[in-house]
Amino acid sequence: MAFPNSYSVGITSLGYQVVWSTLATRSDVDVRRVFTDQGDTPHRHTDLFGVSLSWELDAPLFLDLLEKQHISIWSHQRNENSPIVFGGGPVLTANPEPFAPFFDAILLGEGESLIPIFINKMHETKGLSRQNRLKSLSQIEGVYIPSLYVPKYSKDGKLIATEPIDADIPPTVTKQTWRESTFSHSSVITPEAAWPNIHMVEVVRSCPELCRFCLASYLTLPFRTASLEEGLIPAVEKGLTVTNRIGLLGASVTQHPQFIDLLHWLNHDKFENIHLSVSSIRASTVSSLMTKILARRGSKSVTIAIESGSERLRKVVNKKLSENEIYSATRYAKEGGLHGLKFYGMVGLPTEEENDVKATSDLLLNLKRKITGMRFTLGVSSFVPKAHTPFQWHGVQPNAEKHLKLLSKVLKPKGIEVRPESYKWSLIQALLARSDRRLAPVIALVRGSSRNFSGWKRAYRSVREGDVSDNQPMPTLPSWEEVIHENWELSRVLPWAHINGPLKKSKLIEHHQDALNINHDLI
């Protein structure tokens, strides 16, 4: 079971830990972990090779790991003695197509639902040929077998459909959802992790706010909360037997209906020596009581996603957050005894203009003037379109790079730390998020020593000009501009059209139009 990054990064992934521990607790499976820099003692023979892919840019590293295991990177070149290569995680669930030629099977959805069924089917079909095993796996809802589907293109290179090879194969594959009230928590706690010695506890899944760009919200619907008595408290107590560091995770942790009850429980004197950290907090839920308890339990700061200082743009992206709520959250953070506040923002959002970016810098500068003695940090990234969200049809705005630089130029001299994510790597994320199978040869070319931005561009140009490496021939790649920057027509057949996410295309279009209508009304 591989994670295509270093041990310190991979072991911090709660999703990876869930899959590994699910496999490790089975008596009929012998699972070994593999990372880019280390791994458990390898098997003499491997039946299955799995990977958890949670970040697009790790994809070439996955191919490096396959080659180290002497496994062909291309699924069509594997034989009866080759391991069946499977994968999962948010990247593959959102849009598996750029990676499809590398996988025999892709598990779409949440591991708790799919891993046990997948492993049981592997045991049941052990005597069958490789092809028949894959066909049997394709009958499991949520298991996608790329070799059993064929993309079809028009004469001008437009994708027109991705269809099964015969009538026995389901025409679409539906992402699976875990429905129980107990979520995941750490099974490995180590000082070598990127977050050292921390016991992570998942509090919620998805987010009820549905910001139009947010994959973590739309892809994992519906919003679910862990049981306080049966899930959260036992998970925290288990972690405290080995560490005093607890991390509460989720896209919208403080919207758990019993979050304050959990904090009150953690506020008991017996927990005096623990260190508690919380992932991103919704500003409207912040209170003086909340920040006092967090400060008492070792938190130095909290993180609030504001996306933009522009009220117009927050409405466009469905960020139900007023400027007064941002000010109140900041004031409560100081009153509670916290020393810093981390804001998360984004540039290049659909319809964004330079005035919207100025509104962000104005907001932060006003906060710093009015609420003194606090350390302010802005983490800011460029908008990247993601599958199964209402903004999947929007491209990356070229002016995002300029807007990133503008925020740094204005805020840094005033004592506000700015942590911008790389605009160039946002372009590669968009390339991977929006492409179809024609991108696979490009990914193959950038494995090894070519993993830099110019290496990606060279590889894309090379494949577009006809060098398809050792993969099966594909139609010509679309232009770089078309995939990354262009706004697509709503009628366009998307690479992931045969993958059923939580919401139908008609509902995503409705949310998309709502955003544009808000923008029109405000103008």
Question: What tens digit of pLDDT does each residue of 283-334 get?
Answer: 999 999 999 999 999 999 999 999 999 999 999 999 999 999 999 999 999 9
The most distant pair of C-alpha atoms in the chain lies apart, rounded to whole Å, by 71
pLDDT surpassing 80 at residue 473: no
Closest among 237, 247, 292 to 270, alpha carbons compared: 237
Give domain limits for the chain: 7-174, 198-424
Q: What is the pLDDT of residue 451?
A: 75
Cα gap 447→13, rounded to integer Å = 22
The answer, as to whether pTM is greater than 0.85, is: yes
pLDDT surpassing 90 at residue 38: yes
Output the average pLDDT for the chain. 94
Q: Do residues 460 and 442 touch, judged by C-beta distance below 8 A?
A: yes
pLDDT in tens, 328-342: 999 999 999 999 999
Q: What is the pLDDT of residue 466?
A: 81
* Residue 222, preceding peptide bond in cis (omega within 30° of 0): yes
Q: What is the pLDDT of residue 182?
A: 84
Q: What is the pLDDT of residue 280?
A: 81
pLDDT surpassing 80 at residue 450: no
Residue 183 CB partners (closer than 8 Å, separation 6+): 201, 202, 203, 204, 205, 224, 226, 231
Q: Rounded mean pLDDT of 250-265? A: 94
Q: What is the pLDDT of residue 449?
A: 64
Cα gap 64→297, rounded to integer Å = 42
Q: Rounded mean pLDDT of 258-263? A: 95
* Residues making up the chain, counted from first to last: 523
What's the first-to-final CA gap in the chain, in angstroms? 52
Q: Rounded mean pLDDT of 224-251? A: 95
Per the DSSP assignment, residues forming a β-bridge with 248 are 201, 278
pLDDT in tens, 399-443: 999 999 999 999 999 999 999 999 999 999 999 999 999 999 999
Burial label for 498, CB within 10 Å (0-12, 13-18, 19+), is buried
Please, what CATH class does the domain formed by 198-424 belong to? alpha beta
Structure token pair of residue 497: 């059209």
Q: What is the pLDDT of residue 191?
A: 95
pLDDT surpassing 70 at residue 522: no
- Using pLDDT thresholds of 50, 70 and 90, give the confidence band for residue 520: low
Percent of the chain past pLDDT 70, that is, above it, reads 97
- Using pLDDT thresholds of 50, 70 and 90, give the confidence band for residue 468: low
Q: Which CATH superfamily is domain 7-174 in?
A: Cobalamin-binding domain (3.40.50.280)
Q: What is the pLDDT of residue 360?
A: 98
Q: Rounded mean pLDDT of 84-101? A: 97
